[in-house]
Amino acid sequence: MRDGGIRGAGSGIQDQGLRIRDLQICRVVGTVVSTQKNKKLHGAKLMLVQPLTLDDQLRGVTLLAIDAVGAGVGEKVLVVIEGKAAGDALGKKGAAVDAAIIGIVDAVEYSEPT
């Protein structure tokens, strides 16, 4: 798959309840400052992330994600896009979260299927 989404052999693949299709490779393109927010998000770092294709081209719409790993602007990151999994990644069950940065990507190796 060339669009940057991480997909398994089928939609039923799960790892501890997280569907593989809910993960995206993105680039951090900015930050958001919010002095007033839900108390469950107190202390959370808000980042703007842009999904990427596997050859590092921007695609889709920019997303707002909570940073769980200390990522910085310009870094390539792994983002979970699913409310419950995103909240769980932050250790904040029940928080109003749709996307969370759960990893910093060091490298992507990909070869076209033959």
pLDDT category at 104 given cuts 50, 70, 90 is very high
pLDDT for position 11: 31
pLDDT for position 90: 64
Please choose, from the candidates 73, 55, 70, 36, the residue with its C-alpha nearest in 3D space to the C-alpha of residue 111: 55
CATH architecture, domain 18-104: Beta Barrel (2.40)
Query: How would DSSP label each residue in 30-99?
Result: EEE--SS--GGGTTPEEEEEEEB-TTS-B-S--EEEEESS---TT-EEEEEESHHHHHHHTT-TT---SE
Asked whether residue 61 carries a pLDDT value surpassing 80, the answer given is yes
pLDDT category at 89 given cuts 50, 70, 90 is low
Token output for 87 = 């909240």
Mean pLDDT of 13-20: 45
Asked whether residue 99 carries a pLDDT value surpassing 80, the answer given is yes
